[in-house]
Structure 1
Amino acid sequence: MYKILKAEQLTANIFLMDVEAPRVARHCEPGQFVIVKMDEKGERIPLTICDYDREAGTITIVFQPVGASTTKMKELKAGDYFRDFTGPLGNASELVEEDIEELKKKKILFVGGGVGAAPVYPQVKWLHEHGVDADVIIGSKTKDMLILEKEMEAVSGNYYPCTDDGSYGHAGMVTTMVEELVEKGNKYDVCIAIGPMIMMKFVCLLTKKLGIPTVVSMNPIMVDGTGMCGACRLHVGDEIKFACVDGPEFDGHLVNFDEAMKRQQMYKTQEGRAMLKLQEGDTHHGGCGQCGGDE
């Protein structure tokens, strides 16, 4: 059992929890995720690690209710428990593997959208702790939907909030903010984009035109989190990858976003899952490829 130490509502539909999970906290790195279950019969829910405290043995998760399980999960309070809290899963951010002195020479840009600010934060925080400042653009529909602003401002080199309705910060999409920064003479060595699929697609279209290498996190398409359900199958260049076991980070200029978004819609129905399994054969699942995980 894993005790919830803090449960906080950040916006009308985004929630944060600190969970006591010492083993996960000891071993996790920015970019990885956990799978939580509320009870023995509960759905497995993959969630990106938003923050961690190795000394306190805690993991911070941020989630947005989109289905029955996450809607039920938002009702949990401090003092309640998760039945399972499995992790760390997935691969750490590529930045963690790079030489720190080389990172200090790079100009890094993060672009996040909505709840995507949560997985952006631990990477920016990790860089800051190692003496590397990055620029951060975070977008939302309105000011009230922005999260982790104080935390992001404390660890980023420059923080640029954007709102679709123009009520706060930069008025417009995150892509127009990227263009504005580049027009002002900023030359970025790499961009990391995390957020809704459609946002990442258009950020990648822009950065490809601007010649900025871009990494995306494909955590929005994960369901099972172990490669067995086939939900997060995607094409990265000419290769078939699974976001949960091969990622969640990939070269954004090679990801087939249109195919991934179409699959995401089909996977929501039983008929759609059956059709995908028929079309994709042995490549439908990661891992063994033969598990029949969605039968």
Structure 2
Amino acid sequence: MYKIVDKRQLNKDVDLMVVKAPFVSRKCEPGQFIILRADDNSERIPLTIADYDREEDTVTIIYQVVGYSTQVLRTKEIGESVKDFVGPLGQPSELKKHKRVLGIAGGVGAAPLYPQIKKLHEMGVEVDVIIGGRSDEYIILEDEFKKICHNIYFATNDGSKGKKGFVTDVLNDLLDNGEQYEEVIAIGPLIMMKAVVSITKPLNIPTAVSLNPVMIDGTGMCGGCRVTVGDETKFACVDGPDFDGLLVDFDECMRRQNMYRDQEDHVCRVGLEGGQKNA
């Protein structure tokens, strides 16, 4: 069992949880993820490592409450435990000592972006960041990013913070104003990452993206996380989750992501109405 040592709600849909996980905290690197089960009856769900503290033996995860398993996770309190916390899984991000990098986060994508930007900052890289959300409420980790970023920009759908519009609007503004970056790291909804790549690819700006398709076992055996990168089939759980965004088939990823939406809706209804035993 893995004890929850801290927990807070970042907004009405997103929680931050700090878990005592000595082995994971000592081995993990930016870009990697864990798979957890909230309790005996829960499914296995992958969550990116948002931060870690090797001295305290803790790992921080941030999750959006969208399905039944994350609803169960939200009910857990400080002092309680989660059943399984397996990791670190996946490949660490390939972070290069560029002079200048731009990070782009959409919604909860700020969580996996943060450890990469933090590591780049420690490497002496100058980093700018664009963070997007539906409104000011959905901008997360603002204070943490401000401590490590050279410039930070915001985009919200309703204009309540930063530019009214999307992260790609801010990206276009920066590029039109002559800002130059050796690499872009974009993490967020697939449609957002696809839109970012549609801008960076014609300009030949290297762009890394993080893919989180359907994952079951996290070892590459089930094949549920197949993605097409260039002319190759990759498995996000063992080959990723970070890939060259200029080569990713985003349309295929989006089709696969929606395959089990009806089943997830059913599980949520049954679970909420009848409890975990009936799920």
TM-score w.r.t. structure 1 length?
0.86
Opposite residue 93 of structure 2, the aligned amino acid is S
The aligned residue for residue 236 of structure 2 is 243
Change (3 A) 1:181 1:221: farther
- CA drift at 1:161: 1.4
Between 226-235 and 61-70, report the one with greater CA deviation: 226-235
- CA drift at 1:230: 2.7
Give 3-state SS (helix, strand or coil) of 1:10's partner: strand
Q: Residues 1-50 of structure 1: CA distance to partner in whole angstroms, max 9, x if unpaired?
A: 11000110000100000111111111100000011112233211110000
Opposite residue 105 of structure 2, the aligned amino acid is G
Opposite residue 71 of structure 1, the aligned amino acid is Q
**Runs of 5+ in structure 2 lacking a partner?**
264-279
The aligned residue for residue 128 of structure 2 is 135
Superposed, 1:78-227 pairs within 5 Å as 78-95=78-95, 98=96, 103=97, 105-227=98-220
- CA drift at 1:106: 2.5
- CA drift at 1:183: 1.3
- CA drift at 1:255: 0.5
- Identity of matched residues, %: 56
Q: Which runs of 4+ in 1 moved over 3 A?
A: 220-224, 267-270
Aligned counterparts of 1:211 and 1:170: Cα–Cα separation in 2? 25
The aligned residue for residue 38 of structure 2 is 38
Q: Residues 117-170 of structure 1: CA distance to partner in whole angstroms, max 9, x if unpaired?
A: 000101111112222221111100100111010001111111111111111112
Contact 1:22 1:58 in 2 (8 A): yes
The aligned residue for residue 70 of structure 2 is 70
The aligned residue for residue 290 of structure 1 is none
The aligned residue for residue 273 of structure 1 is none
Aligned counterparts of 2:195 and 2:214: Cα–Cα separation in 1? 17
How many residues matched? Answer: 263
Aligned counterparts of 1:116 and 1:151: Cα–Cα separation in 2? 14
**2:245 aligned with 1:262, yes or no?**
no
Aligned counterparts of 2:217 and 2:126: Cα–Cα separation in 1? 34
Aligned counterparts of 1:59 and 1:169: Cα–Cα separation in 2? 31
Give 3-state SS (helix, strand or coil) of 1:160's partner: strand
Aligned counterparts of 1:223 and 1:197: Cα–Cα separation in 2? 19
Between 205-214 and 138-147, report the one with greater CA deviation: 205-214
Opposite residue 34 of structure 2, the aligned amino acid is V
**2:19 aligned with 1:9, yes or no?**
no
Between 86-95 and 214-223, report the one with greater CA deviation: 214-223
Contact 1:21 1:85 in 2 (8 A): yes
Contact 1:175 1:203 in 2 (8 A): yes
Contact 1:231 1:264 in 2 (8 A): no
Aligned counterparts of 2:69 and 2:119: Cα–Cα separation in 1? 31
Aligned counterparts of 2:202 and 2:72: Cα–Cα separation in 1? 43
Give 3-state SS (helix, strand or coil) of 1:110's partner: strand
Aligned counterparts of 1:75 and 1:50: Cα–Cα separation in 2? 20
Aligned counterparts of 2:123 and 2:47: Cα–Cα separation in 1? 25
Give 3-state SS (helix, strand or coil) of 1:262's partner: helix
When you count strand as a share of all residues, which structure comes out higher? 2
Q: Residues 246-280 of structure 1: CA distance to partner in whole angstroms, max 9, x if unpaired?
A: 1001110111111111122224467xxxxxxxxxx
Aligned counterparts of 2:165 and 2:74: Cα–Cα separation in 1? 30
Aligned counterparts of 2:218 and 2:64: Cα–Cα separation in 1? 17
Opposite residue 211 of structure 1, the aligned amino acid is N
Aligned counterparts of 1:79 and 1:229: Cα–Cα separation in 2? 34
Aligned counterparts of 1:146 and 1:224: Cα–Cα separation in 2? 31
Contact 2:21 2:85 in 1 (8 A): yes
TM-score w.r.t. structure 2 length?
0.91
**Runs of 5+ in structure 1 lacking a partner?**
271-295
Change (3 A) 1:140 1:223: farther
